[in-house]
């Protein structure tokens, strides 16, 4: 179903004299999370097994957003977002969903300059494993820099960059964030506030498919190596749940059987170490091989 949606999205996105982009399709985006600016999002991860007898297994790490056109304009983007994170395939199961409002502000700037992109969230968070109901807000600051044109040799930050021969695509994503989570109710008596400053350093390098760049604007990816390391510390914790310093390391390799600058479908393998309290991921380590989709 997801793959069909991507193909439909691309077909409707071909701007010719007879085919126009559908405004609803262009306003909807699928990815893993909308916590940071859209260009830094990871693809959604999907996996499901339903045996003839016994328990079914889920892996859904995905988010869906709807851009609010009437509340967006210029450098300001406004969205309704929903995320679903469930993984029954790991030692400590994850079952977390959230929905709310997301905005981003990007200052107008000349090419080659280094600026900041601000992303904010306010949402309801339900963690079924911990039986908690929360309201969470966050402010994320990401660095942004791009060249005057793709492949001009400028070191891009916060956006995909390309080598001069377009053989490789790379991305560097440093960002800083502060999370405020107010746990309103819990069967385990964990009510209280948590404040987490966070630093996230991520990067990737991809081998592109051989293409004639005189006929296409940007080459699609073929194979990509990525790493993402997040550090956070609960400087305020009124829940007395023991949360202090937490980290999450993700290192992966992905093969793209479909790729454009805005959409992709790939098979990926990644090593995961650490935790993500806001998304309900407990501290553990595991390998993951799954379908990854983004549009």
**Tens place of pLDDT for every residue, the chain, 295 residues?**
555 455 445 544 444 444 455 555 578 888 888 877 654 567 888 887 888 777 888 899 999 999 998 888 888 999 999 999 999 989 999 999 999 999 999 876 666 678 889 999 999 999 999 999 999 999 999 988 877 777 777 888 888 889 888 899 999 999 999 999 999 999 887 899 999 999 999 999 999 998 876 667 788 999 999 999 999 999 999 998 899 999 999 999 999 998 887 788 999 999 999 999 999 999 999 999 988 988 8
CA distances from 258 to 22, 102, 223, 229, 280 (A): 21, 28, 11, 26, 30
Which letter does DSSP use for residue 39 in this model? G
> What is the pLDDT, as a whole number, of residue 156?
86
Paired tokens of 127 = 């963690």
CA distance 94 to 71: 34
Domains of the chain and any CATH numbers: 2-294 (2.40.128)
pLDDT at site 78: 93
Residue 109: predicted pLDDT: 65
151 and 33 in contact (C-beta within 8 Å)?
no
How many angstroms separate the most distant Cα atoms in the chain? 62
**CA count, 13 A, side-chain hemisphere, 153:** 0
pLDDT at 213: 67
Give the integer Cα–Cα distance in Å for 171 and 164: 15
* Token pair for 198: 């966070």
What DSSP line would sit under 242-262, residue for residue?
A: ---EEEEEEEEEEEEEEE-SS
User: DSSP assignment, residue 157?
Assistant: B
Break the chain down into helix, strand, coil percent, rounded to 5.
10, 60, 35
Beta bridge partners, 201, equal 174, 229
**pLDDT at res. 16:** 41
Contacts of residue 4, Cβ cutoff 8 Å, sequence gap at least 6: none
CB atoms inside a 10 Å sphere around CB 38: 17
pLDDT at site 19: 44
Q: Residue 169 CB: number of other CB atoms within 10 A? A: 24
Specify burial of residue 175 (Cβ count, 10 A radius: 0-12, 13-18, 19+). buried
Q: What is the CA radius of gyration of the chain?
A: 20
Residue in the structure block whose two tokens are 């600026």: 115
The token duo for 108 is 């107008």
Q: Are 248 and 275 contacting, i.e. CB atoms less than 8 angstroms apart?
A: yes
């Amino acid at each position: 179903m997801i793959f069909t949606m991507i193909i439909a999205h691309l077909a409707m996105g071909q701007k010719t004299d007879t085919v126009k982009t559908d405004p609803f399709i262009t306003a909807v985006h699928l990815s893993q999370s909308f916590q940071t600016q859209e260009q830094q999002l990871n693809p959604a991860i999907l996996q499901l097994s339903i045996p003839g007898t016994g328990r079914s297994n889920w892996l859904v790490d995905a988010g869906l957003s709807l851009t609010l056109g009437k509340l967006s304009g210029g450098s300001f983007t406004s969205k309704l977002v929903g995320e679903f994170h469930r993984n029954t395939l790991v030692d400590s199961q994850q079952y977390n969903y959230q929905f709310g409002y997301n905005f981003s502000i990007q200052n107008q700037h000349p090419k080659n300059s280094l600026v900041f992109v601000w992303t904010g969230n306010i949402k309801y968070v339900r963690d079924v494993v911990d039986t908690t109901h929360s309201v969470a807000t966050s402010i994320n600051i990401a660095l942004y820099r791009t060249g005057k044109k793709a492949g001009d040799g400028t070191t891009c930050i916060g956006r995909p960059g390309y080598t001069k021969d377009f053989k490789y695509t790379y991305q560097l994503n440093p960002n800083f964030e502060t999370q405020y989570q107010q746990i309103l109710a819990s069967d385990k008596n964990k009510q209280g506030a948590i404040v987490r400053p966070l630093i996230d350093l991520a990067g990737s390098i991809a081998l592109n498919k051989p293409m004639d760049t005189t006929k296409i604007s940007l080459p699609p990816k073929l194979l990509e190596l990525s790493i993402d390391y997040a550090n956070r510390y609960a400087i305020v914790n009124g829940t007395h749940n023991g949360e202090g310093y937490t980290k999450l390391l993700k290192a992966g390799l992905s093969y793209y059987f479909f790729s454009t600058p805005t959409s992709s479908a790939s098979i990926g393998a990644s090593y995961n170490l650490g935790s993500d309290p806001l998304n309900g991921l407990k501290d553990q380590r595991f390998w993951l091989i799954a379908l990854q989709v983004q549009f």
